[in-house]
Amino acid sequence: AGADIVMLDNFKPESVARAIAELEKRGLRDKILVEVSGGITPDNIEKYLELGVDIISLGWITHSAPAIDLSLEIVEVIR
C-alpha cells in the first residue's frame, strides 16, 4: 500500500535533506508528507523550514514546562 507520511525523528538537517532528495529521486516526494521532530528548537527551526518539510513537531514547547500543584476537593455530590 505504501506510506502517506514519513516521520524523521532526531534527524539533523543534513540527513533530512538526504532523505528528501531520495524521495525526489524515486518520484515520491509529491506523494509523501515529510514530518520532522526531535531536537528542533527556536534556534534551529529555520534550517528545517528551508528544507521544505511539510510538518514540524516541537516537543520543546511542553516537555520542560513546570508542573503546578493542583488538587480538587469535592464537597458535595448532587444526584
CA distance 33 to 53: 8
pLDDT in tens, 7-33: 999 999 999 999 999 999 999 999 999
pLDDT in tens, 58-71: 887 777 778 889 99
CA distance 24 to 77: 61
**What predicted TM-score, i.e. pTM, was given to this entire model?**
0.74
Q: What ranges do the domains of the chain cover? A: 5-63
Question: Chain-centre distance of CA 28, in angstroms?
Answer: 20
CATH superfamily of 5-63: Aldolase class I (3.20.20.70)
